[in-house]
Amino acid sequence: MKKYVIGIDLGGTKISVASSDLAGNIIYKKTVPTNASEGENKILDRIISLVDDTLKKSNLTNEDILCIGIGSPGPLDTKKGTIITTPNLPFKNFDLVKPIKDRFNIHTVLDNDGNVAAIGEHEFGAGKGTRNMVFITVSTGIGGGAVLNGQIYRGNTSNALEIGHVTLEKDGVKCNCGNCGCVESLASGTAIARSATKAVEEAKSRGDKTSLYKYDNITSKEVFDEAKNGDKLALDVINKALNYLGIFIANIMNVFDPEVIIIGGGVSKAGSMVFDKIREIASKRSFTTIYENTKIVPAKLGGDAGIIGAVALAITEGKIFIK
Amino acid sequence: MKKYVIGIDLGGTKISVASSDLAGNIIYKKTVPTNASEGENKILDRIISLVDDTLKKSNLTNEDILCIGIGSPGPLDTKKGTIITTPNLPFKNFDLVKPIKDRFNIHTVLDNDGNVAAIGEHEFGAGKGTRNMVFITVSTGIGGGAVLNGQIYRGNTSNALEIGHVTLEKDGVKCNCGNCGCVESLASGTAIARSATKAVEEAKSRGDKTSLYKYDNITSKEVFDEAKNGDKLALDVINKALNYLGIFIANIMNVFDPEVIIIGGGVSKAGSMVFDKIREIASKRSFTTIYENTKIVPAKLGGDAGIIGAVALAITEGKIFIK
């Protein structure tokens, strides 16, 4: 009886591998640098030796493992098990699943980091026990995943929930994706930092005061910190971004009518300043019945979302596989 | 063996009831006025006698019927089988399912008209054979339904796909729902008629020409007709609305990554003028992989969408019930 799984969290700067039982209890976990510049085959070798090492350190053999779950930035082709391309990793149409599956003779699945985090929150986090939930991450970018009718929803080309690129301002600023006025370009951590930098320049030319002058390099964290200290310019920048984020969340509510919306990523760490504002906007912009029945809560898994999500992916897909 | 179903399409002006086999072949169909002003109990009596009549005319008894499916405007509580309230019908928290189920001793289900039309298109229309599809109706209002992972998606309170009230302009015109800048207030048939009426008044005050002067009461149909004839003012109004509709469809694509988006309702009848523009905008605003793999097509069921959808609801829910 196969009672264990392996999770792999592949990122631009680090790779984590963990073994776990089917209840999500981590047995052994190791994290190493990705060293992305060494190229795709070296990264694959590193992953394989990490899995080998994890099996040994956990006193397990491949016979004990139900499934290997891999979380990776996308876009991916999850049916083929390939990474199509991804900004911070050297993979181009790279078949990641087959060599791992062949090497260990274990059922192996790949999914994008938004879905993996959603599955993690659904199995072991803030979405536990729900049938319909949407996970949204707001950090340098905006992304997400959804569990609908009790199942992860991947869509036709496994690119569902590309929600960062939903248009909210038809004539808004240009986004990296080529479109303009995407929510990612209006309300992500990157967007907040960019708006603040621009606002500081304008304040300087007008001779206005702001506590943001003291930073050489403004990130969203500094903007939130100074807004909490009452700096008017920082507060204006934050409120504009959170207004868009609130509209975005209201739209997600009207589309999905979910039990819970889980918000993770750096921006969610600003706590009640973010959540109070989002709830205020969403209460005005969403259907009353939906608003009254949707919880808006912070993610529970935090920094471990990637590896716990990969383990959760392996558990859920493993159980489907042996059915 | 129960090899037949009954579909009921309840609307503000008429009620249709039909019997069908499990392949969706209509055996007998009858439509009568709703006479909404007579109140909820009279309407219920009328539905029951229509079902009675339909059974007799089809040479069927209640023993032959797998399921009765009812489509109704919402909001509903589909789990309880009640109509909460609805603009053009007198029902208030009215239990519609129980008296019909008790009278005929047949499994009976209720669903809102957006979902029912989506199920109809999925079973017998433009979405046949797809696993992930979104149906959107653009007429006096904007609504929809979605089949995801092969199942109708209703959400937590059975209000999913309240997509007409997705915000696209944060400072846009006030919508009937209380919010402002909803896509329904920017791109529905009603919105097109309202924008045209306003534009005609402004043109009059400036002394500009427009072929729309000849209409006492402008509806979206006249605006489309005159736009096709090359009237500049009509074309401006249509292009503004279709730009919003294109953004809306692109957003739906980025959220759902569906195989097909099916567009029904009066506005979709303007044909290639609508579809070409939507595709042009969506190609710029949605993810390339998603756009290349999503068909955008007109609905197939047309004026019969309500009753065929109700039959399709009865077939799909009946099959789940006997499992």
Q: What would the DSSP string read from start to end of B183-196?
A: THHHHSHHHHHHHH
Q: Could you tell me which of B52, B102, B91, B96 has the C-alpha nearest to residue B70?
A: B96
At residue B74, the pLDDT reads 82
The predicted-structure confidence for B180-219, as pLDDT tens digits, reads as follows 999 999 999 999 999 999 999 999 999 999 999 999 999 9
B165 neighbors B184 (Cβ within 8 angstroms) = yes
Q: Domain boundaries in chain A?
A: 4-112+303-322, 126-299
Helix (H, G, I), strand (E, B) or coil at B158: coil
Residue of chain B minimizing CA distance to A261: B156
Domains B4-120+303-322 and B128-299 share a fold: yes
| pLDDT, position A57 | 98
The stretch B4-27 carries a mean pLDDT of 96
The two tokens of residue A80 are: 């083929």
For residues B230-250, give the mean pLDDT: 98
Is B287 in contact with A156 (Cβ distance < 8 A)? no
Q: What pLDDT is attached to residue B95?
A: 96
Question: Which CATH number is correct for A4-112+303-322, 3.40.50.300, 3.50.50.60, 3.30.420.40, 3.40.1000.10?
Answer: 3.30.420.40
Q: What is the pLDDT of residues B104-157, one digit of tens each?
A: 999 999 999 999 999 999 999 999 999 999 999 999 899 999 999 999 999 999
Q: What is the pLDDT of residue A70?
A: 98
Note whether B133 and B118 are within 8 A (CB). yes
Is the torsion defined by CA of A316, B161, B76, B318 positive or negative? negative
User: Measured between beta carbons, which residues in chain A are less than 8 angstroms from residue B159?
Assistant: 257, 287, 289-290
B35, B50 contact by CB (below 8 A): no
The owner of tokens 């506590």 is A211
Is there a contact between A78 and A69 (Cβ–Cβ < 8 Å)? no
Inter-chain touch B284–A247, beta carbons under 8 Å:
no
Instruction: List all residues 6 or more positions away from A303 whose beta carbon is below 8 Å from its beta carbon.
Output: none
Q: Which residues of chain A have pLDDT under 70?
A: none
Task: Determine the topology of domain B4-120+303-322 in CATH.
Answer: Nucleotidyltransferase; domain 5 (3.30.420)
What residues in A contact B133, CB-CB < 8 Å? none
Contact B110, B97 (CB under 8 A): yes
Locate A286 and state its tokens. 């969403």
Strands (E), B170-321: 260-264, 295-298
CA dihedral B144, B150, B152, B156 (to 10 degrees): -110
CB contact under 8 A, B166 and A254: yes
| B257/A75 touch (CB, cutoff 8 Å), yes or no | no
Helix (H, G, I), strand (E, B) or coil at A9: strand
CA distance B247 to B262: 16
Q: How far is A104 from chain B (nearest CA, A)?
A: 30
Size of interface A-B (CB pairs under 8 A): 133
CATH value of B128-299 in 3.40.50.300, 3.60.21.10, 3.30.420.40, 2.40.50.100: 3.30.420.40
- Return the pLDDT at B68: 98
Q: Tell me: the pLDDT tens digits for A182-205?
A: 999 999 999 999 999 999 999 999
pLDDT at B273: 95
**What strands lie across the sheet with A133-138, from one edge to the other?**
A151-152, A142-148, A133-138, A260-264, A295-298
Chain A contact present for B319, CB below 8 A: no
B170 touches chain A (CB under 8 A): yes
| Domain boundaries A126-299, corresponding CATH code | 3.30.420.40
Select from A321, A322, A310 the least CA-distant residue to A5. Answer: A310
Q: How high is the ipTM of this complex?
A: 0.94
Interface test with B, best of A83, A149, A166 (most B CBs within 10 A): A166
Cβ of residue B115 closer than 8 Å to a chain A Cβ: no
Partners of B244 on chain A (C-beta within 8 Å) are 170
Q: How far apart are CA B309 and CA B317, in angstroms?
A: 12
pLDDT band (50, 70, 90) for residue B177: confident
| Confidence tier at B88 by pLDDT (50, 70, 90) | confident
